[in-house]
Structure 1
Amino acid sequence: MARIKPQALLIQSKMQKRPPRIGVVTILFCSLIVLLILSSLIATSRHWSQRSRDQIGTGLSNYEHVDEIADSKKYDLPGYVVLNTSKGYITIELFKDGSPETVDKFLDLCQKGHFKGMPFHHVIKNYVILGGHSQELGGIEDWTSKTKLHRRLPISLKHEAFMVGTTKIKEDGKAFQLFITTAPIPDLNEKLTVFGRVIKGEDVVQEIEEVDTDRHYRPTSPEGIINVTLRQEI
């Protein structure tokens, strides 16, 4: 038997230790699998990202829809009130945006007939006409004395004549007081919540203002509201 030379044994040993070669087909196949996995991950990520945006968008649209319903209900409310008084008709524009809670309460009382037959129990010339079923206001004389001291204060829109308001004091339904100013009153916001203004019938307000009163500013002859009509438009 022929001996294998040492040089040949060394070459044979190196060939046995060399790792087997990977074929081109195997590399392409593995690359394809990796690409498919990456594509699947990217698609899944995009799907959940889009779903999250859709849910957020749906939530926002629902809130917007609720706001639209609230606004539509607010603007479906009557915007004007016509008082049929003992001297004639007075048309009032309501401040639905500026005093929504007071306007809601006022309209609710109108629908319940609260103001039908309501008397003007105090008439203070160059100041206010007060109407209500309760006359327990107190401090009427004090009001008139204070207003003389504040005539030089700046006048804002809500301080003008022919504004309509109610007292800021928390009261029940029966004690709801109705005020119509007959002159600019600088300190009006300290006493009243203004929720409307007279836009027609200023002459009627002035006629009521001129009625005879006693020394406590109570009309000597009955004056008041006969009934109330709610209107969307005038």
Structure 2
Amino acid sequence: MASPEDTLILDTTKGVVTIELRPDLAPQHVARIKTLVREGFYDGLAFHRVIDGFMAQGGCPDGTGMGGSSYPDLPAEFNDEPHVRGVCSMARARNPNSANSQFFICFDDATFLDKQYTVWGKVIDGMEAVDQFARGEPVRNPDRINKATIGADA
């Protein structure tokens, strides 16, 4: 069980999703997510790219997949954790060191992404809510994060 400080709670339009943060795998990425959550950055943001059988992507402030936070991009923290159902990983551009605020949650095994994207957590409760997110690239009427919180702050 994750400590409250390493628990991310996403209250979404389809229900609550609880994610265990993994600072042991990606300390800088987990620190960035905690900072953004505590600033309210993710509140109201859409899951703008949701591909059936693959993943749900969110964390873009403008909903296009092109935006990020005001912080600099992060250096890659690729690790050995496999991209399987429920895994949370950072989205990025072509440059491996371009992750910023966008992330995705895997619906199914996506091990072809292993060691190319930074895994920073895993859904430990509420995956059925993620399964209900509206699909599309972009999604016409996207599901959203109503409020993101760190367990220690709840």
Under TM normalisation by the shorter chain, which class is it? Answer: 0.7 to 0.9
Point out the structure with the larger helix share: 1
Amino acid at match of 2:90: T
* Equivalent of residue 100 in structure 1, options 6, 27, 36: 27
Percent identity for Structure 1 against Structure 2 = 25
What do residues 189-217 of structure 1 show as CA deviations (whole Å, max 9, x unaligned)?
A: 35421100000001101111xx253xxx2
Structure with the larger RCO, 1 or 2 (CA within 8 Å, 6+ apart): 2
SS in 2 for 1:219: coil
SS in 2 for 1:228: strand
What do residues 32-54 of structure 1 show as CA deviations (whole Å, max 9, x unaligned)?
A: xxxxxxxxxxxxxxxxxxxxxxx
Q: How many Å apart are 1:220 and its aligned residue?
A: 2.0
Q: How many Å apart are 1:170 and its aligned residue?
A: 3.6
Separation (CA, whole Å) in 2 of partners of 1:76 and 1:136: 31
Task: Report the counterpart of residue 231 of structure 1 in structure 2.
Answer: 151
* Equivalent of residue 165 in structure 1, options 89, 99, 118: 89
* 2:117 matches 1:192: yes
1:191 to 1:100, Cα distance in 2 relative to 1, 3 A: same
What do residues 53-101 of structure 1 show as CA deviations (whole Å, max 9, x unaligned)?
A: xxxxxxxxxxxxxxxxxxxxxx988110110001110000000211111
TM-score computed with the length of structure 1 as normaliser: 0.52
Separation (CA, whole Å) in 1 of partners of 2:86 and 2:28: 21
Q: How many Å apart are 1:167 and its aligned residue?
A: 2.5
Task: Report the counterpart of residue 113 of structure 1 in structure 2.
Answer: 40
Does the aligned pair in 1 maintain the 2:51–2:135 contact within 8 Å?
Answer: no
* 2:75 matches 1:183: no
SS in 2 for 1:118: coil
Point out the structure with the larger strand share: 2
Does the aligned pair in 2 maintain the 1:167–1:191 contact within 8 Å?
Answer: no
Separation (CA, whole Å) in 2 of partners of 1:204 and 1:163: 14
Q: Flag structure 1 segments of 5+ consecutive residues without an equivalent.
A: 1-74, 138-155
Task: Report the counterpart of residue 219 of structure 1 in structure 2.
Answer: 139
SS in 2 for 1:92: strand
Task: Report the counterpart of residue 18 of structure 2 in structure 1.
Answer: 91
SS in 2 for 1:119: coil
**Runs of 4+ in structure 1 over 6 Å off:** none
1:133 to 1:200, Cα distance in 2 relative to 1, 3 A: same
Q: Flag structure 2 segments of 5+ consecutive residues without an equivalent.
A: 67-79
Task: Report the counterpart of residue 133 of structure 1 in structure 2.
Answer: 61
Does the aligned pair in 2 maintain the 1:94–1:195 contact within 8 Å?
Answer: yes
